[in-house]
């Protein structure tokens, strides 16, 4: 199974690709990302933790699960890709 860091790398790659294509934002859903990368695996916790770790100021929840730890296949985040500067603050901290 993929680690949280593996998923962070995948998400950051997707954000970088979107930035290179001059897209303003991308939306990622935890269930869809898991299906794309590890179809049939039960690794939603690592996917969700990576999605949350990659959130920067300005990024928003499109679907925020009610669970306190936000672990759900319905977790969906809009990442703004116009400014991927490392100086942007993390949005979500555990």
Predicted confidence band at 94 (pLDDT cuts at 50, 70, 90)?
low
Distance CA 14, CA 34 (A): 14
pLDDT of residue 92: 63
Q: How confident is the model at residue 93 (pLDDT cuts 50, 70, 90)?
A: low
In tens, the pLDDT along 24-70 reads 999 999 999 999 999 999 999 999 999 999 999 999 999 999 999 99
User: Measured in Å, how far apart are the chain's first and last C-alpha atoms?
Assistant: 22
Sorted by where each begins, the domain ranges of the chain are 4-80
Q: Token pair of 68, please?
A: 């306190």
Q: 25, 80 in Cβ contact below 8 A?
A: yes
Mean pLDDT of 7-22: 98
Please, which pLDDT band fits residue 91 given cuts at 50, 70 and 90? confident
Distance, in Å, from the CA atom of 40 to the CA atom of 61, rounded to the nearest integer, reads 25
């Amino acid at each position: 199974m993929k680690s949280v860091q593996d998923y962070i790398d995948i998400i950051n790659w997707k954000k970088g690709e979107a930035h290179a294509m001059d897209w303003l934002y991308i939306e990622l859903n935890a269930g869809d990302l898991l299906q794309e990368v590890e179809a049939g695996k039960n690794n939603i916790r690592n996917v969700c933790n990576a999605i949350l770790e990659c959130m920067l100021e300005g990024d928003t929840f499109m679907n925020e699960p009610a669970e306190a730890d936000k672990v759900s296949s319905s977790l969906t985040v809009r990442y703004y890709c116009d400014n991927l500067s490392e100086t942007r603050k993390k949005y979500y901290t555990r």
